[in-house]
Amino acid sequence: GQTLTGLGKWWGRKPLILVRATLLGLLMPVSDNPKKDMEIFLKILTMDEKGLELRKDKSIPESEVYKYLTTEEKNKYFTEISGKPQYIQGLSKEEKQNLQLIAFRRMSYDEKLKYCKRPEEVELKDKAEWNKINEHLGTNAYSLQELVKQLGEKRFGKVPTVGDCFAGGGSIPFEAARMGFNVYASDLNPIAMLLTWSALNILGSNEEEIEELKKFQERVYKQADEIITQWGIEHNEKGHRANAYLYCNETTCPECGYKVPLAPSWVIGKGTKTVAILKDNGHGGFDIEIKMNATDEEMKKAEKGTVIDSKLVCPHCGMETPITAIRKDRKLEDGTIVYGLRKWEKHEFIPRPDDVFQERLYCIRYEDENGNRYYTAPTEEDLKREEKVITLLKERFNEWQEKGYIPSNAIEEGDKTDEPIRTRGWTYWHQLFNPRQLLVHGLLMELIDKEAKTKKEKVVGLLGVNRCLNWNSKLCRWNNDASNEKGTDVFSNQALNTLFNYNTRTMISLYTTWFYNLSVYSMYSKIISFKLNDARKVDEQSIFWLTDPPYADAINYHELSEFFLAWDKKMLLDIFPDWYADSKRALA
CA distance 86 to 79: 5
Report which of 387, 564, 581 is spatially closest to residue 490, judged by C-alpha positions.
564
Cα–chain center distance at 340:
34
User: Which class for 124: exposed (0-12), middle (13-18), buried (19 or more C-beta within 10 A)?
Assistant: buried
Q: Which residues of 51-84 are buried (b: 16+ CB within 10 A; e: fewer)?
A: bbebbbeeebebebbbebbeeeebeebbeeeeee
With vertex at residue 421, the alpha carbon angle to CA 416 and CA 426, rounded to the nearest 5 degrees, is 125
Q: 451 in a domain, yes or no?
A: yes
What pLDDT is attached to residue 586? 64
Sheet with 267-269, edge to edge strand ranges:
267-269, 274-280, 286-291
Report which of 122, 129, 146, 108 is spatially closest to residue 16, judged by C-alpha positions.
122
Q: 106 in a domain, yes or no?
A: no
Report which of 209, 208, 179, 183 is spatially closest to residue 196, judged by C-alpha positions.
183
CA distance 117 to 46: 10
Backbone angles phi, psi at 15, to 5 degrees: -60, 140
CA distance 473 to 430: 10
Q: 46 in a domain, yes or no?
A: no
Give the count of domains, the chain.
Answer: 1
Q: Confirm whether pTM is higher than 0.95.
A: no
- For helices 127-137 and 34-44, give the axis angle rounded to 10 degrees: 140
CA distance 583 to 327: 30
Give the torsion through C-alpha atoms of 502, 508, 509, 511, to 10 deg: 130
Q: 199 in a domain, yes or no?
A: no
User: What's the domain range around 344?
Assistant: 220-514
Is 348 strand, coil or helix?
coil
User: Which class for 441: exposed (0-12), middle (13-18), buried (19 or more C-beta within 10 A)?
Assistant: buried
Strands 259-262 and 241-252: antiparallel
Backbone angles phi, psi at 191, to 5 degrees: -70, -40
Q: 534 in a domain, yes or no?
A: no
Report which of 76, 194, 240 is spatially closest to residue 459, judged by C-alpha positions.
194
Q: 464 in a domain, yes or no?
A: yes
CA distance 575 to 568: 10
Residue 138 zone, left/alpha/beta (φ > 0; ψ -120 to 50; rest) = left
CA distance 286 to 91: 66
* Type of residue at 32: D
Is the distance from CB of 326 to CB of 319 less than 8 angstroms?
A: no
Q: Which residues of 384-423 are buried (b: 16+ CB within 10 A; e: fewer)?
A: ebbeebbebbeebbeebbeebbbbbbebbebebbebbbbb
Q: 40 in a domain, yes or no?
A: no
CA distance 88 to 351: 68
Q: 48 in a domain, yes or no?
A: no
Give whole-number Cα distances, 152 to 28, 31, 45, 119, 147, in Å: 9, 16, 17, 22, 8
Give the torsion through C-alpha atoms of 261, 265, 268, 274, to 10 deg: 100
* Type of residue at 458: K
Report which of 536, 548, 552, 549 is spatially closest to residue 415, judged by C-alpha positions.
552
What pLDDT is attached to residue 84? 92
What does each of the 588 residues of the chain score in pLDDT, given as a tens digit?
467 777 777 776 788 999 999 999 999 999 999 999 999 999 999 999 999 999 999 999 999 999 999 999 999 999 999 889 999 999 999 999 999 999 999 999 999 999 999 998 899 999 999 999 999 999 999 999 999 999 999 999 999 999 999 988 899 999 999 999 999 999 888 998 999 999 889 988 889 999 999 999 999 999 999 999 999 999 999 999 999 999 999 999 999 999 999 999 999 999 999 999 999 999 999 999 999 999 999 999 999 999 999 999 999 999 999 999 999 999 888 888 899 999 999 999 999 999 999 999 999 999 999 999 999 999 999 999 999 999 999 999 999 999 999 999 999 988 888 999 999 999 999 999 999 999 999 999 999 999 999 999 999 999 999 999 999 999 999 999 988 899 999 987 788 999 999 999 999 999 999 998 888 787 777 778 888 888 888 888 999 999 987 765 656 777 888 999 999 999 999 999 999 888 776 676
